[in-house]
Chain A
Amino acid sequence: MKDPRRFSRIVSYILLAPILAFFISPIVWLFVTPFSVRPSLFISFDGFTLNNFVRVFQNRTAIIAFRNSLVISVSVVALVTTCALFAAYVFSRHDFRGRNVLLYVLVLFSSVVSGAAAMVPIFVLNLRLGLVNKELGVILTLSGGIMPTALFILKDFFDSIPRTYEEAALVDGSSPMQVMFRIFLPLSSKGIIVIAMLVFAQSWSNFLIPFVLLRSASKYPVSVAIYTFFSEVGVPDIGMISAYSLLYTLPVIFTYVLIERKFGFSFYGGIKG
């Protein structure tokens, strides 16, 4: 054996090939079927067409769901980014006892109260607040769930920005609010953009919360609409569903690619569970 690294390279290619095939195979369908003239469950391509996309745009339910998804996620992004920004600024710049423990406990709590354990009390809470079958209920519930992680990542980011500029401005007689908006925000815009994009991808993709909280089809976001399309009785319209799924997925992929290009993978762990 001349070169152990070359040998190990060959071995890893041989082992990696089937694993990669396993990961890629189900996904190929998503990128092929929407453009296929005769879409089927089998990955096949018999000529290029955009007809499946045209049918998505002719489907009223699909378009309304797109609008609903947009309303929900943009609201969640606005709400979470603003609130987390303020709070993370305090957590980063104001010394008080137990702030790190508090933050840590909040993040852990968001993992504890999730999925299985959370849906019943979250439903009852929304029921009592009169928010069942209202977009506002979905927006607030998603925001509360994502907030601790957003806060945590933002605080981490803010900690890496030196305090000196703000301190200098304070000495010069600016008010704390002026310091925040004029000096701190421009410095931290990168972290804020990352958080906004992650929150967008998370709320755009979420299925369970709107599935549990919403009752009428006209209020469904895309996630629930797609589910009703493929679980409805009768023959599902494969071409339409695949095109719709692709349109729904692209913003998420685009968001992650952008984050990855600009900021690397380091932000992933925290928010995607």
Chain B
Amino acid sequence: MRKSLMGKKVVVLLLIPALALIFIFLILPGLWVLKIGMTNETLTGAKARNPDFVGFENYAKVLSDRFFYNALRVTLLFVLGSAIVGQAGLGLSLALLTYRKRKLRSFVQSVVILAWIIPEVVVAYLWIAFLDKDYGTLNMLLSVLGLRKVNWFYEYPLPTIITFNIWRGTAYSMLLFSAALETIPPSYLETADVIGVSAWRKFKDIIFPNIKSYTLTDLILITLWTFNVFTPYLLTGGGPSFRTELLSIYIYRTAFRYFKLGYGASIATIALLINFALAMFYLSLSRRKKA
């Protein structure tokens, strides 16, 4: 161990501001949610000032709450469709299609990254405009082709927000898989080209074994992020009739529209535990990789 450049006092002084902010505005809320979830605190009215401790009463209610099950189901489909199948699949495809094509790849990446970095309120409005029933670009194109105009947000609400989220989030998977492909020694594929191995065999025997470990990292991270996404609220507000009500939107509705902070917190606790499980999974995975 090398000698430190600083004394103990300096170390503590330099650490305090950052750690204090993290503790108060990140760790404390993360723990506090457990307590709030066991009260009947509300945003307004009598229980706003003096909430009662109700123990696990909220959780018992959650277990028979049909909106909770609806939100859970919508969220699972959303994560499965937009993250696991969509973003990972499209991200990998894009990485493969632009593999060993430097200029093409940097162009494709710029476009995909643009969808990723534009602020969420703006992308939401871009999609509202793009999919508008009467004047949206997509429907205009469809009617030029002689097809019927579709009311996307009402007829296919869930597939619509899933597609939106694929569009929004593919960049990360593409960047990760592109980086993973770079780790394959070029000689492997050059040899395969010389022998004349089929594209599928190249993927199965050379590419896939080399990027396998990255795939799991990607899947866990995008699952974690997608699970917590709130942006679809800006597109649909959770509707029509709760068909796009993700867990995040249900928590928002419960806590801030119906003012039931305690009950909202108990649902948030469940979301937090799912996040926690995913994070632990990721942690154990990345430690195994290092060892």
Report A's interface with B, CB cutoff 8 A: 4-5, 8-9, 12, 15-16, 19-20, 22-27, 29-30, 33, 40-43, 79, 82-84, 86-87, 89-90, 93-96, 104, 106, 108-125, 140-141, 143-145, 147-148, 151, 163, 166-167, 170, 176-177, 179, 201, 204-205, 207-208, 212, 222-224, 226-227, 230, 238, 241, 245, 248-249, 252-253, 256, 265, 268-269, 272-273
Contact = CB atoms under 8 A, between A and B. Distances in A.
A272 B132 CA distance: 29
Given A121-B268, A163-B2, A176-B10, A140 B251 contact: no
21 contacts: A15-B93, A23-B115, A26-B129, A26-B137, A90-B11, A90-B14, A94-B11, A115-B248, A116-B227, A116-B251, A117-B275, A118-B268, A119-B248, A119-B252, A119-B268, A121-B28, A121-B33, A147-B18, A223-B119, A248-B121, A269-B172
A120 B264 contact: yes
A235 B256 CA distance: 26
Nearest to B125: A230
A12 B276 CA distance: 39
B38 interface: no
A116 B230 contact: yes
Nearest to A7: B199
B70 interface: no
B272 A113 contact: yes
B125 A253 contact: no
Contacts of B127: 26
B255 A120 contact: yes
Given A41-B129, A117-B271, A253-B117, A20 B18 contact: no
B159 interface: no
A115 to B, nearest CB: 3
Interface stretch (B60-68, B106-114, B204-212): B106-114
B175 A114 contact: no
Nearest to B265: A120
Contacts of B36: 120-121, 124
B118 A249 contact: yes
B17 A86 contact: yes
A227 B233 CA distance: 11
A121 B30 contact: yes
Contacts of B117: 201, 205, 252-253, 256, 272
Contacts of A108: 279, 282-283
B177 to A, nearest CB: 12
Interface string B1-29: 11011110011001101110110111111
A258 to B, nearest CB: 12
Contacts of A227: 121, 124, 234
Interface in B220-252: 221, 224-225, 227-231, 234, 246-248, 251-252
Contacts of B230: 115-116, 207-208
A111 B279 contact: yes
Contacts of B122: 30, 226, 245, 248-249
Contacts of B132: 41
A125 B283 contact: no
A170 B5 contact: yes
Contacts of B283: 104, 108
B102 interface: no
A147 B21 contact: yes
Closest 5 CB pairs of A and B: A144-B25, A115-B228, A116-B248, A87-B18, A121-B29
Contacts of B94: 16, 19
B98 interface: yes
B137 A29 contact: yes
Contacts of B247: 116
A208 B94 CA distance: 30
B11 A82 contact: no
B112 to A, nearest CB: 6
B288 interface: no
A25 B16 CA distance: 47
B136 interface: yes
A26 B119 CA distance: 14
B41 to A, nearest CB: 7
B5 A123 contact: no
